[in-house]
Structure 1
């Protein structure tokens, strides 16, 4: 990760109103966006030099393309990353981690059937893969297959009940799967946890134990450097946007998803899914526009 000078741009945040009234946001906290580091640029140059060498073993070449794909992906160069991953898979199809990354990318693109197949391949090759069940559960959630998403997300949570993000994704799916029980289940899982990870602040915000203003102000005031600030704001704004989207306050959700993207934390699932959410909201608006037009005639 890049280590940049700590800075907060416009740290005051003002929230007023509730879900039924417009929300006023003034000067939300922002981090200096991530930029390609010197180390990353050197890594790319070294890989290019290695690829010029003759007679590289096929398995080694597959690893090199995979590593370069990860590097391109971390820089937000998704198309270059996909090209590298495809080359790597052609050379060595026995790569569960690569299938997992491919599934995440397919999810971001809204290609859910391809995502399911990729995660299935990961789990066929590595049944105990640490992230494939969560990522497949998220893809199933976006594919509106909430019962199947629960089948992945619930066992994943049970493997580590102290991971707040496992609890959060279960809650997001529960809002669709068992909406009347979602809040009480979230409360139960919070009580059972050790509450040590910073991510539990997101759960506290969802439970109403802290206000949205407290939540975002805490991120700005407790982050030790710009890297930590960028990471936490990416998460914080995404999960805040989820809340407003559930309330059908799409204008505020769009603004928050854009703020989640502003730190350039390309590797975070919250950055990837912010792009997906924005595309889905805009597509829904475009599809609704002709209907509204016909009603006005």
Structure 2
């Protein structure tokens, strides 16, 4: 496939990361993780902003500014434009529109959900919890509010509460590998051995034909990182499909290397997930947060 490229630059990046580790023995230990697979890593052309989204934003802006409409209609337009801003990575503008929509229509459930996501990305966890709680008060069956509140609780270092939300989310569709993976990541923070046992049991309900089943197999130790990477292009039919798959794959590789203590490798995989520009994917949203948290941890450790 002509859009697949061998990553010479990534090789240099990984090499540089390893050379800057503080301890020689640590270099050797971490070096085994990336160098075994770097020759097979692939990237796709980052997703470009859809011109239809740009046109839609312009049209919505014109209607909002000029049309004689009710507050409820205007609130919906602000929300719709916020969703479009979010889809092209303009988070601050999206947040402004979601907030404005709620001022005009305080029961706009999905606006609360989006704002909660954004506050999670900003590490403003108290505000995130408040927004998700508001969404669930208005719509107790809003399953994605459970997912997103669970993620906020996970990153807010409250894994026990997060696991309750992820279990509720997983129960809604037990053959969804992504629901299972977030539940596993949270349970791993509580009890790694029990989490792996539960992952193996729950994974039986996931179809082997689903590509994300490979992520589960990686986490269970059934395949190596090299085998996982070699399978990333299997049955891929377009650059868009490849880009979306790589966004997910590199995020979960980052989390996997994190659990092994390979911080440099984990950071590089999170950067690769970000490079796809798949702004709407959960994995893209939180790859940036992962990097921010890693920088914070490093800065804290280096303070006298």
- Shared fold by TM > 0.5? yes
- How far apart, CA to CA, are the structure 1 residues paired with 2:187 and 2:29? 22
In structure 1, the residue matched to 2:64 is: 51
In structure 1, the residue matched to 2:194 is: 181
Alpha-carbon distance, 1:54 to partner: 3.7
Equivalence map 1:255-266=2 (5 Å): 255-266=268-279
- How far apart, CA to CA, are the structure 2 residues paired with 1:38 and 1:153? 35
State which of 4, 14, 17 in structure 2 corresponds to 1:8.
Answer: 4
In structure 2, the residue matched to 1:62 is: 75
- How far apart, CA to CA, are the structure 2 residues paired with 1:237 and 1:288? 26
Alpha-carbon distance, 1:217 to partner: 2.1
Alpha-carbon distance, 1:27 to partner: 6.1
CA RMSD of aligned residues (A): 2.2
State which of 150, 157, 179 in structure 1 corresponds to 2:163.
Answer: 150
CA deviation vs aligned residue, 1:166-213 (integer Å, no higher than 9, x gap): 110111011111222111111111123334432212111111222212
State which of 87, 94, 103 in structure 1 corresponds to 2:100.
Answer: 87
Greater mean deviation of Cα atoms: 158-167 or 194-203: 194-203
Alpha-carbon distance, 1:63 to partner: 0.6
Alpha-carbon distance, 1:6 to partner: 7.1
Unaligned runs of 5+ in 2: 15-27
Contact 1:235–1:260 (8 Å) recurs in 2: yes
Q: Does 1:242 align with 2:255?
A: yes
Q: Which has the higher helix share?
A: 2
Distance 1:104 1:90, change over 3 A: same
Greater mean deviation of Cα atoms: 218-227 or 146-155: 218-227
SS at match of 1:252: helix
Alpha-carbon distance, 1:86 to partner: 1.2
CA deviation vs aligned residue, 1:122-161 (integer Å, no higher than 9, x gap): 1001111121111111111111111111111112212211
Alpha-carbon distance, 1:225 to partner: 0.5
SS at match of 1:161: coil
CA deviation vs aligned residue, 1:50-83 (integer Å, no higher than 9, x gap): 1232421111100111111111111111111111
- How far apart, CA to CA, are the structure 1 residues paired with 2:105 and 2:153? 27
Unaligned runs of 5+ in 1: 292-297
SS at match of 2:268: helix
Q: Does 1:172 align with 2:185?
A: yes
SS at match of 1:192: coil
State which of 124, 127, 130 in structure 2 corresponds to 1:117.
Answer: 130
Contact 2:30–2:265 (8 Å) recurs in 1: no
Equivalence map 1:14-25=2 (5 Å): 20-22=29-31, 23=33, 24=35, 25=38
SS at match of 1:85: helix
Q: Does 1:197 align with 2:197?
A: no
Contact 1:234–1:265 (8 Å) recurs in 2: yes
SS at match of 1:180: helix
Greater mean deviation of Cα atoms: 125-134 or 192-201: 192-201
Alpha-carbon distance, 1:11 to partner: 7.0
CA deviation vs aligned residue, 1:200-248 (integer Å, no higher than 9, x gap): 1211111122221222222124321011111110110000100111122
In structure 1, the residue matched to 2:221 is: 208
Paired residue total: 285
Distance 1:208 1:38, change over 3 A: same
